[in-house]
Every structure is written in C-alpha cells, then in structure tokens.
Amino acid sequence: MKTVEYADQEIDGKELAFIIASMMIGIGVLTLPRLVATHTKGLDGLVSILFSGSFFLFFGWLLAKSISKFPKKSFFEYTSDMMTKPVALGLTSILALAFLFTCALETRVIANISKLYMFDQTPIEAIALTFLLVVVYCVSGSRVALLRLNLMFLPIVLTVTLIVQFSNISLFQLSNIQPSFTTSLNGYWQGAQETTFSFIGYTVILVYISLLKSPKVAPRMTMVGIGIPILLYLVIYTITIGVFGNLATSEIIYPTIEIAKEIEAPGGFIERFESIFFTVWIMTVFNTCSMAFDISIHLLHSITKLKRKTIILILSPLIYFVAVTPENAYQIQLLGKILAGIGFFYGVIFPVIFFSLTKIRKVIQHA
C-alpha cells in the first residue's frame, strides 16, 4: 500500500516559505502603518520599510545558509557542535522563553482587538483563555500537521487582505502621500526600527529547518518567505496613507483594521466588513501563536527530555498569566520591543557569529 504523501514528518521548501510568511504576518502588521507613520512624512515610510525589509532579507538568507549545513539537527544540537553545550543551553533557553512570551503577546493582543471590535461586553481574560485553549489543542497534535495549516490559511488571509486594500482605491487621495522625501535621515532610521517586530519572524527557521527534506533549498525559500510580507507591508502602508493621510494614520491604534471599515458595499450588502477581515486575520494570528508555542515546547524538550504533553501542561498556565498581566497598552508595547530586541539578536547577530564560526572551523579542518 502506498504511503500518504503527508503522512511523513518532514516539510518541503514551499511549506518553509509559507511558515516564514505566516510567522511574520502576525499582529505586527496591524500596527505597522501607525508606528512607521509616526516618524516619517507622506509616503516616505515606504523607504523605511524597504530598507528594513532588504536588511532582514539578507540576514534571513545568511541564517538559512549557515544552519542548512547541519541537516536534521535541532537548534540545541547544532549550536552545541559549534559553541559548546553550556552556551547552547543558554541560547536554547532564552530562545524558548522568547517564543513563549511571543505566544503570550499574540494572545493578549488578539484578545484586546476582539474586545474592541467584536466582543465589547466580554472580559479580556475570558477571550484570551478561549483563544489559548484552541492553541493548546492545536499544539497537542502533530507538529507537521500544525505547520501545514499555513498552506490553507495563508492564501485566504492574503487574498482577503488585498481585496480590502484595493477596495479602498476610490478613497485614495494623492494629496495624502505628499510631500515626498522630506523626512530626516533620523526619521527614516526610526521608522525602520519600528518594523523589527514585524520582520524578525523568520527566526522560526532556527528550529523548523530540522524538518526540511532538502536543506539546500532553505536559503532561497527563506528569501521567498520574507519577500511575501515585504510586498504586503508596502501595499498596506501605501493604501493606508493614501486613504487616511500621515497624521491620521499615526493616531489610529490599528490602521490595518480601520481601513476595512472604510469599505462600502453597493446597497449596504456587507456591513462592518472589518469584522469579516478580523475573523480571517485570526487565522494567521492563530498559526503564529501555535508555531511560537510549538517552538518553545520543542526547544525545552531538547534540553530537558520531558514529554511533550508534560511541557504543554507546564507552559499553558504561564502563557495565560503573562498574557493577562499587562495593565495597559504601554506595557504590551514594551513587551513587544523586548521581544524585538531578542529576535534581532537571533536573526542578525547570531547568524553573523555562527557563519564566522563555520568558516573558521572549515579553515582549521583544512589546515
């Protein structure tokens, strides 16, 4: 009897690209236009997004290129080979906590937005708990099955998002995107810094590259996975600025959702389109949250050897506690900046160190 193609426990290059794109297109894109518009003028934020996107595109390629030389090995195993076990233990523990807190942050933000746009009478704690329980159910099953949800959800999310954006073309005003290139260099730089949390999601390859059938395709497919969000961010930012203008965009909490409220279907056929858009967007946030939780479980399993279900039982209450702890938007934003800083280390500094060590090791072996 033939084995079902998806009964294996490996992923191909296309699936890796979808995983990276889904991880990057999470809650960050909902606030990206506001954060970038705060530091730039007119449509100048596109320069910040392009600069930042190109920067992370290169380091994503470098990271994939470096770790693809250790096929089928976990993060703890290949860092142990290159940096000794004590260092690998520390790096694995910090990365596990970072993804754990990422899951908590995603859960809290999705609860906040759900209360704001859909369940205004429901306590945030109840919304967060309901969402987290579904995530726990998801990570309790097959890892590869969880990852392949991206193949189903991401095309739907991209399609609906683009429909939302281009449905507002009639409201686009050229006066809102002017003047051009009047932002200071510091403004461009600060705008680029604000995109770090939205772009740093490609660090998932640190863990998921071990599931790849052919590690040689990792660098190329990583660039494809990063390129999809870059193009999406450029479209979203252009339409948002064109509709709301720079000043209004910098004051709106979730511009990407608000742009959906501007859609007016003929005859009032669809009302409150933002609710439909947000419901679809939950698919991506669910995938992002589930993958972050799964990565934490995998990393902790690699250093503790505890059973997967035991780790889930330990981490679930911790994630919920972290998710409901922040008292205001400032504390949530602070957590996001801390996670962006940690992600910057693993996505930019770590690949430089790791690549250098592989070159040094190669020279020593040939000496």
pLDDT at 263: 67
Q: To 10 degrees, what angle do helices 85-117 and 329-344 make?
A: 150
pLDDT at 272: 61
Answer yes or no: are the C-beta atoms of 250 and 243 closer than 8 Å: no
Q: For 163-195, what is the HEC assignment?
A: HHHHCCHHHCCHHHHCCCCCCCHHHHHHHHHCC
pLDDT at 43: 87
* pLDDT per residue as tens digits for the range 299-329: 999 998 888 889 999 999 999 999 999 888 8
pLDDT at 266: 55
Question: pTM above the 0.75 mark?
Answer: yes
User: How many CA atoms, within 13 angstroms, populate the side-chain half-sphere of residue 4?
Assistant: 3
pLDDT at 318: 94
Angle among Cα 232, 237, 240 to the nearest 5 degrees reads: 125
**Environment class of residue 2 by beta-carbon count within 10 Å: exposed (0-12), middle (13-18) or buried (19+)?**
exposed
Average pLDDT, the chain: 86
pLDDT at 60: 93
DSSP 303-325: HH---HHHHHHHHHHHHHHHHH-
Instruction: List the structure tokens of 363.
Output: 């020279």
Alpha helices in 194-272 (DSSP H): 196-199, 205-208, 218-244, 246-249, 255-261
| pLDDT beneath 50: ranges in the chain | 1-6, 269
Phi, psi of 72 (to 5 degrees): 65, 5
Which residues on neighbouring strands pair with residue 302, listed in sequence order? none
User: How many CA atoms, within 13 angstroms, populate the side-chain half-sphere of residue 222?
Assistant: 32
List of domains in the chain: 7-351 (1.20.1740.10)
Answer yes or no: are the C-beta atoms of 104 and 323 closer than 8 Å: yes
